[in-house]
Amino acid sequence: MTDNVEYKEEIISSVLKVANETEKTVSYKELVKEMQDFIIRKFDNQNLNAYKGEWKRKLKQLVKYLGYKLVDFDDVSWVTINEKMQEKKTVSSSSTKTSDNNNYSLSSEEKKRVVNIFDSIEEHDKWLLSTGTNIQDKMKELVTI
């Protein structure tokens, strides 16, 4: 993750915003809050716990690299982020599913046309699976159900 320049720049910028220069410390809670939008934006539906762990590790690594000590650990700071990432995960997975209410039923005329199209395909032009299943015949069968 921190191999990517965009991540490094964002993390370093956020660290410098929330760092206590006098004590050379960075509040983990404040850092996560500062980076919340970026963390959520970069989430791409992987496992939530793994994603959180990856961020924790990289934040610690860059904070240490910058010469600060990470303090004030608090998993509560991830509650909002987890909720938003879960919403993002749910929205993206539900947008790929077809609702029963949106299924289109072919009219009898459309069914006849589809059957005629499949009937017009020469046997040697049909797709045959290694299992012996003929794809076009299966599609034709589905239309007639």
Is residue 121 located within the same domain as residue 51? no
Provide the phi-psi class of 24: left if phi over 0, else alpha when psi is between -120 and 50, else beta: left
Burial profile 4-15: b = 16 or more Cβ within 10 angstroms, e = fewer = eeebeebbeebb
Is residue 30 located within the same domain as residue 73? yes
Q: Give the integer Cα–Cα distance in Å for 7 and 58.
A: 10
Task: Please give the helix or strand (H or E) that residue 71 lies within, else none.
Answer: strand 69-71
Q: Give the integer Cα–Cα distance in Å for 119 and 103.
A: 25
99 inside domain:
no
The predicted pLDDT at position 104 comes to 66
The predicted pLDDT at position 26 comes to 92
Query: Structural domain of residue 132, as residue ranges?
Result: 104-143
The predicted pLDDT at position 68 comes to 92
CA 12, distance to chain mean position in Å, is 25
The predicted pLDDT at position 92 comes to 59
Number of compact structural domains in the chain: 2
Q: Sheet containing 25-27: which strands, arranged edge to edge? A: 19-20, 25-27, 69-71
Is residue 79 located within the same domain as residue 134? no
Handedness of CA 63, 64, 70, 76 (dihedral sign): positive
24 inside domain:
yes
Per-residue pLDDT of the chain (145 residues; tens, 9 = 90+): 445 777 888 888 898 899 999 999 999 999 999 999 898 888 887 888 888 888 888 899 999 989 999 998 877 778 888 888 877 766 655 555 544 455 667 788 888 888 888 888 888 888 888 888 888 888 888 887 7
Is residue 12 located within the same domain as residue 62? yes
Is residue 47 located within the same domain as residue 89? yes
Is residue 19 located within the same domain as residue 79? yes
Is residue 18 located within the same domain as residue 80? yes
The predicted pLDDT at position 1 comes to 45
Is residue 85 located within the same domain as residue 115? no
138 inside domain:
yes
